[in-house]
Structure 1
């Protein structure tokens, strides 16, 4: 079937000090995150002038994709929309409608399944179309890509570069954004037992480690933001560095396999908090780059587009479909807090 455009759908981030708290309130609305925690996270943004790099990183990646589309002779203009900050998805879909776009593919900037990383993007699409009305363009989201060979290859290349800067006995540690345990258990087709997000993270880590030639490694988590009373996926990266030091490990290489780009949570949680803790302990530390702005990442995106246009499916891992059919009812539904008497 023919498509008229590509919507690049992302998370969003503040682009000035006055944006920070409204942005964080957008992100956490309805989640019961204490204001004290928002103020704490806000300081991370203010440390960098109140600007998240994520929008500029997305624009750079989009420019690469536009160049790759032109190179391959695919005529798809690219529109940019976010969930939590300008340019909002609603604005992008309205622009598409004004430009006469009838059907568009959607690239969501997360490689993984789960509620925040997949299902919520589906909700963004529904909300954006509803804001335009009955004549809104049809939007079709491309598949998760955590198992795409180029995704693995680019992380493996970056990990090799990082490993080359530390002692040979450095421990390889993969990180991803933590989520509530209940949310992870709800992720994926119910008949497959949930846990899709954490299983896909582990699968991606295993593929990268194999490509690098490392047999022993760890998968840990970072960036939790919920109330302390809610259990999240653990261990945290900083706590894990403490444990590695206690076990006599002299150096650590961190691969942020759960992230497409070096946005603020990567820069703050890894390049600041984790790196500073390793330095305090006298440990070597290196962090692998994320692949989103690499020119070859644009090849990955265009390959996903070609997959869809040509009706082929090269996914080999833990996809979010059942027997090739669309997501099951209840797949990756948000975990609801229990009512208290």
Structure 2
């Protein structure tokens, strides 16, 4: 938190919650997937096939409802702590769209906007692409003759206590869901979204210490969080040598392009063959229990574990946990104090320390071609 919060959120006059979006009915599934894959030339028939994941849940992704819950929790937290700052919400791929949210913000008179993206880590898809989306939306507002606000994206929060501590608690709760005789020997599989290895290698700022490690900042940051949670779980359970591994899920790319591995289902197979008593899946790469958690873990991975006869449990994501909403408030106040030129204490666990406020221009490059991005040096 900032050393001094006397200035409150100034210079910011609004917070924008920026997320991915998702369909809220069967008729929205294919149009939503067309938005997600625009420019890639994927046939509508293939999109309908991919959409079966959504149709299993009535064509409704949980993500919008979860964002509404987080939006309400942030507003409640701000009000309870005397933070007079409105909170808006916009999505990359579905209503409410980002550009519409920015139109509403400027029409309501807001000109300096802090942005919380619901992605905790460095990487093209999780950071720069959101900043490209912001640049596109700002360009649209300018073309419409509307005022163009200043937008600042809040720093990555993967190692903030308000993100890590709820994940520790959720992991312990998942362990407790296993039969008692399996808990001591249960392994931890920390899961996140797989991305192309080339994209992983280039993630982070060029001078980021994490870039010196294999996998760049994306992998290094996930390993940091996994290690923090594993250490806390070891302390709480007294099992110091519990096996854990970072694994991946939700791969969607062409087979000939290398992506981060192992996949969670392959990992479960390998660990069953290796004699694991049980596995707890800990989705550290996701802020809420949206479709990639509900399908890829709760449906697909659980089905694989059942085929293997391997007991599994799944830890909850942070969602709208009060510690996470408090972390967002702290991130906002620390950034506001920094913008005012005041001393700032930045909360971060582990060895990597707090992320930068402003992304360098060369940070997490677009894998296809350079594009304008907002909120950078």
TM-score scaled by length of structure 2: 0.84
- In 1, Cα distance between equivalents of 2:216 and 2:40: 20
2:364 corresponds to which residue? 332
Q: CA deviation at 1:210?
A: 1.1
1:153 corresponds to which residue? 165
Matched, 1:208 2:235: no
- In 2, Cα distance between equivalents of 1:258 and 1:103: 29
Higher RCO (CA-CA < 8 Å; seq separation 6+): 2
- In 1, Cα distance between equivalents of 2:40 and 2:124: 13
Matches within 5 A, 1:230-241: 230-241=257-268
Instruction: Write out per-residue CA displacement over residues 291-314 of structure 1, whole angstroms, 9 at most, x where no aligned residue.
Output: 012232211111111111222233
Matched, 1:224 2:251: yes
- In 1, Cα distance between equivalents of 2:265 and 2:365: 30
The 3-state SS of whatever aligns with 1:164 is: helix
Go from structure 1 to structure 2 and tell me whether the alpha carbon gap of 1:303 and 1:325 turns closer, same or farther (over 3 Å shift).
Answer: closer
- In 2, Cα distance between equivalents of 1:73 and 1:222: 40
- In 1, Cα distance between equivalents of 2:256 and 2:305: 28
Matched, 1:25 2:46: no
1:142 corresponds to which residue? 154
State which of 260, 263, 271 in structure 1 corresponds to 2:290.
263
Contact 2:187 2:280 in 1 (8 A): yes
Matched, 1:171 2:177: no
Contact 2:161 2:347 in 1 (8 A): no
2:47 corresponds to which residue? 38
State which of 197, 212, 220 in structure 2 corresponds to 1:199.
220
Matched, 1:280 2:312: no
- In 2, Cα distance between equivalents of 1:180 and 1:224: 9
Deviates more, 1:17-26 or 1:283-292: 17-26
Unaligned runs of 5+ in 1: none
2:62 corresponds to which residue? 53
RMSD: 1.9
The 3-state SS of whatever aligns with 1:9 is: strand
Q: CA deviation at 1:11?
A: 0.5
Q: CA deviation at 1:138?
A: 1.2
Contact 1:114 1:332 in 2 (8 A): yes
The 3-state SS of whatever aligns with 1:190 is: coil
- In 2, Cα distance between equivalents of 1:295 and 1:230: 40
TM-score scaled by length of structure 1: 0.93
- In 1, Cα distance between equivalents of 2:330 and 2:93: 27
- In 2, Cα distance between equivalents of 1:40 and 1:227: 16
- In 1, Cα distance between equivalents of 2:357 and 2:170: 35
Go from structure 1 to structure 2 and tell me whether the alpha carbon gap of 1:150 and 1:320 turns closer, same or farther (over 3 Å shift).
Answer: closer
- In 2, Cα distance between equivalents of 1:280 and 1:43: 21
1:242 corresponds to which residue? 269
Q: CA deviation at 1:83?
A: 0.4
- In 2, Cα distance between equivalents of 1:200 and 1:331: 15
- In 2, Cα distance between equivalents of 1:35 and 1:183: 27
The 3-state SS of whatever aligns with 1:242 is: helix
